[in-house]
Amino acid sequence: MRLSVIGCGYVGLVTGACLAEAGHEVVCTDIDRDRIAKLQAGGVPIYEEHLEQILTSARKTGHISYTADAAEAIRAGEAIFICVGTPPKESGEADLSAIDYVARQIAAEARTPKLVIEKSTVPARTGLELSRALSAYSRNSNVKFRVASNPEFLREGTAVADFFHPDRIVVGVEDPSSAEELRQIYRPILEKKFHCPVHNGTCPPGQKAEFLVTTISSAELIKHASNSFLALKISYANVVADLCEKIGANVEEVTHAMGLDPRIGGQFLKAGLGYGGFCFPKDVQAFIYLAAKVGVDFDILKAAERVNKQRIEHFFEKVHKALWVVKGKRIAVLGLAFKANTDDIRFAPALEVVKNLIGEGAIVHVTDPEAMPRTKAVFPQLHYHEDPYDALRDADAALICTEWNPFRKLDWQRAGSSMARKLVIDGRNLYAPQDMKKLGFEYYSFGRE
């Protein structure tokens, strides 16, 4: 099919690339002309595992193209995926101005019928407003629009694998024909009939994704409900960790045993600096706002949000306990991205840590496998190191802020020999306390004191 993708951020670029790799003809556009120029030149503006590989493959087959002309992209596709940002306002409400802008563009520029698909995360009832906007701004009464919701469940760092091997594909529609069109779009993935870059060829046998057809409002709600529940699990684990510290228990032993119960599951029961990134914080805020707007008090989510905001404060209690005075100390920060395997620093806990260190007068040396270029634009005054051992040299303390595998594998005997003080404050519980103490380190983590 001929498909258009509006928005070439994390969601849009992965969506466009994967649909092209699955065999569709995809045209991508973005309001950022520099981003489009980079893509046209063969560059990749974000880091995501396997993304560069499939963009290169799709470019060779001619299945993907880019244009800064939104009208061209709108006219090209039989179906249009809207993948623009919906950032939070100060109130927590999702800012839907970009969705509205795109709707007006589509209405003005379309010359043939279109299936318009919400891929961006939006609050429930957005589809109704999108339909109204398309109808109100249409210049051609003969051009009909159908609206659908197709929320994404992509995890940054594994987004390509998640797209090609989903556990479910949710489509919210108004009519059977829209559901069938979306089924055709996803047929190669549902039937595993595509070249899988994650497995270098044919997809391994396994459980097929469930194709769920719902109302548009249900599909919109599913995304917010899912992300908010995962955020809730993280905050729950962090409160359990605080309790473990008070009574001398080990949070990893507790959450491991909890996770063995299939009703609970072990994923996201991880204590540490808390959740970050662009999705969880804004989706929790938007869900709370939506609930309040219709008269539902979502106290449990408010508590989860409050717990998450307190993680940095709790982390710095450990920093002050260990260091006493931060001013003038050389501090190595390992990890800047909000999670491993991405260069995304939006709402990253590590950046809050850095900001606090700067505010207290520390000399901050940082390292991250992918996120340093983005961080330099925000904190040019930091000392940046490609090699983590260089960042650790002469450090009074090492703060672990992102769970990158290269950090898991560090030779701490080597690192400790060059540090001014053998002190590690681990915000991600990467290391076994007994192993670090055997190496002569003062070691602090969450819920395992």
Catalytic residues, by residue number, are 279
Q: Taking the CB of residue 242, how many other CB atoms lie within 10 A of it? A: 16
Q: Which residues contact 11 (CB under 8 A, 6 or more apart)?
A: 83, 119, 120, 152, 154
CA distance 162 to 168: 10
Q: Cα dist. 356→79, 129, 327, 367 in Å?
A: 46, 41, 11, 17
Residue 64 DSSP label? E
**For 267-288, b where at least 16 C-beta lie within 10 A, e where not — what string?**
ebbbbbbbbbbbbbbbbbbbbb
Structure tokens belonging to residue 369: 């496998």
Angle between the N-to-C axes of helices 311-323 and 299-309, in degrees from 0 to 180, rounded to the nearest 10 = 30
Residue 434 token pair: 């007994």
Query: DSSP code of 342?
Result: B
339, with CB counted inside 10 A (0-12, 13-18, 19+), is: buried
Which of 118, 202, 121 has its CA nearest to residue 165? 202
Q: Among 339, 353, 347, which residue's Cα sits nearest to residue 405?
A: 339
List, in sequence order, every residue forming a beta bridge with 207; answer none if it has no partner.
none
Nearest to 117 by CA among 2, 6, 279: 6
Q: Which residues make Cβ contacts (< 8 Å) with residue 211, sequence separation at least 6?
A: 168, 169, 171, 183, 186, 190
Residues 6+ apart with CB under 8 A from 259: 265, 266, 267, 269
Neighbouring-strand partners of residue 284 = none
**Residue reference for tokens 């670090």:** 436
